[in-house]
Structure 1
């Protein structure tokens, strides 16, 4: 049986989720992030993930600890313990992933995972995903860990029900889109980047990753309140989408951070010209309750294959170049 202290942790998580729901109208993406982070201490795990069943794949929609860099990771349902959990609708435990034929051994080796437990997440009577806890140590998990994760999975399932009570199909959308702007969130953006880079490696066609920081949000929040800040974010998102092609992907990564996937790259002037056009489209004032508020963007980008073939490296380079652009704008206005 779980200890009293661990049961109190579950109650504390339940209180957090209730508060989160009242504050955010059950923003499912943030809820899932909160759950996986609390799962680490709850079962003394090195990593945790929440995977959704999408077609014949299991997709990481929230991750923490050793799994944090794996958002968007896709596993075949037929070759993973998570997929088996969905098929059977019951909790499963693996003592050693390197020896267990039910596991995707290659994926486990990449993560450094040796032991794991997975419990089903049910929505409208259907198992739609799993909550997974991971350990670097073989044989780490016991029955008490399964019991605790089972309690958490029931909590998440109840939250999912209320967050998507109008239609079961909204579950995927709420888990993969930003609640304010309705743009893809970080999880879905990384998913699209993984898929596009894999395709680019096969066909040799270039792509670009752009990272953007919205300029002016803090001044607006401080001077006019968060309603004005939300209006600014919505206007920025509208302009961002309006300045891109249908084949491009724009996402809100969190706070005032946005990302863009450009594929294929535009032939008219190249990436630099695209960035300049987009910056001009994003910069400027907008009206809010009789006032003109100013917004703009700092932008950085990295290209495949010129800047590398590793996704993490491309994102890091684009981020560095964005901050360099931001510093240049700050110096120009100093």
Structure 2
């Protein structure tokens, strides 16, 4: 098989992706998100993911399509097609998971896939993860798709090489932390949330989820420029962090949105007191290059067990709570 087996249209798409990747700089998280989205489209798949090695597990560190809601999912390397492709260092295809004994059938059924290609990600001669495309249909992929995947995996591998300064732990850190603020990103937030849900269910613990959306970021960008907007995002991340305890987790989920996991919350009133503390810190005076900038955020929450026990339900409840606050502020003209 050679590059000529890939259509000119797909080659042009890959070149476009290369350009977009170059524009991302050293933000490995954004690069992986971009590649999974474009890989899904180019192979006409239903989903795509980048799985990175963390200890003896593979973590869904970027995902698109049908795989998106499994961001942060951890799977064992052993007894899986991903594990075999890493061991053999070659791409592998499964066009019907129900008759393929190499795959983790339970995990495939959980995601809803029936065919897939897995491609090892090799950086500095070490396999550090897997690029995967997924389809809900059997017999969806062919050899041309493998060639496309090889070209796409090279984009990630090149950035991994740039990020890989102190071994795999450095790579995993760069892939799971926000480039602007330095706090954890969406991938690590969902990874930690899945682990917390499992732990809380086993140990009968309580915890809370807070979702936070900055108010008025567009106006800050319009009035003072994007450097001011970036400074405001960084300051909000710093102020949230200062309001939390060491065992709590704050993550930038994207744009002006943050997610917080609050450990060992006894009840709704305690969670509300955390929100009041965060709100107090955020709204303190802030100046950037001589300009006084108002910082404010709409904050919502959900309490494990009381508001739900499943990840999607808790996130939906917290988001709904947050948007209710935002709508109320808009109604009173208080969003700045």
User: What range describes the TM-score normalised by the shorter chain of this pair?
Assistant: over 0.9
CA contact (8 A) 1:46 1:135 kept: yes
Aligned residue in 1 for 2:97: 97
Deviation at 1:187, TM superposition (A): 0.8
Q: Choose the corresponding residue for 2:9, options 5, 15, 38.
A: 5
| 1:178-197 paired onto structure 2 within 5 Å | 178-197=178-197
Between 296-305 and 274-283, the greater mean CA deviation after superposition: 274-283
Is 1:212 the counterpart of 2:212? The answer is: yes
Aligned residue in 2 for 1:230: 230
Deviation at 1:155, TM superposition (A): 2.1
Aligned residue in 2 for 1:153: 153
Aligned residue in 1 for 2:114: 114
Q: RMSD of the TM alignment (CA)?
A: 1.6
Instruction: Give the 3 Å change call, closer, same or farther, for CA 227–32 of structure 1 in structure 2.
Output: same
SS at match of 1:195: helix
Q: TM-score, normalization: structure 2?
A: 0.94
| Separation in structure 2 between the aligned mates of residue 269 and residue 83 of structure 1, nearest angstrom | 46
Deviation at 1:9, TM superposition (A): 2.0
SS at match of 1:181: coil
| Separation in structure 2 between the aligned mates of residue 212 and residue 108 of structure 1, nearest angstrom | 33
| 1:160-175 paired onto structure 2 within 5 Å | 160-162=160-162, 164-168=163-167, 169-175=169-175
| Separation in structure 2 between the aligned mates of residue 297 and residue 241 of structure 1, nearest angstrom | 14
| Separation in structure 1 between the aligned mates of residue 175 and residue 184 of structure 2, nearest angstrom | 9
CA contact (8 A) 1:57 1:75 kept: yes
Is 1:296 the counterpart of 2:301? The answer is: no
Size of the alignment, in residue pairs? 329
| Separation in structure 1 between the aligned mates of residue 12 and residue 229 of structure 2, nearest angstrom | 37
| Separation in structure 2 between the aligned mates of residue 64 and residue 143 of structure 1, nearest angstrom | 22
CA contact (8 A) 1:181 1:234 kept: yes
Aligned residue in 1 for 2:283: 283
Aligned residue in 1 for 2:20: 16
SS at match of 1:294: coil
Deviation at 1:166, TM superposition (A): 3.5
Deviation at 1:79, TM superposition (A): 2.3
Q: Which runs of 5+ in 2 are unaligned?
A: none
| Separation in structure 2 between the aligned mates of residue 269 and residue 63 of structure 1, nearest angstrom | 35
CA contact (8 A) 1:85 1:92 kept: yes
Deviation at 1:268, TM superposition (A): 11
Aligned residue in 2 for 1:35: 35
Deviation at 1:143, TM superposition (A): 1.4
CA contact (8 A) 1:47 1:67 kept: yes
CA contact (8 A) 1:97 1:114 kept: yes
Deviation at 1:189, TM superposition (A): 0.2
CA contact (8 A) 1:185 1:252 kept: yes
| Separation in structure 2 between the aligned mates of residue 56 and residue 160 of structure 1, nearest angstrom | 19
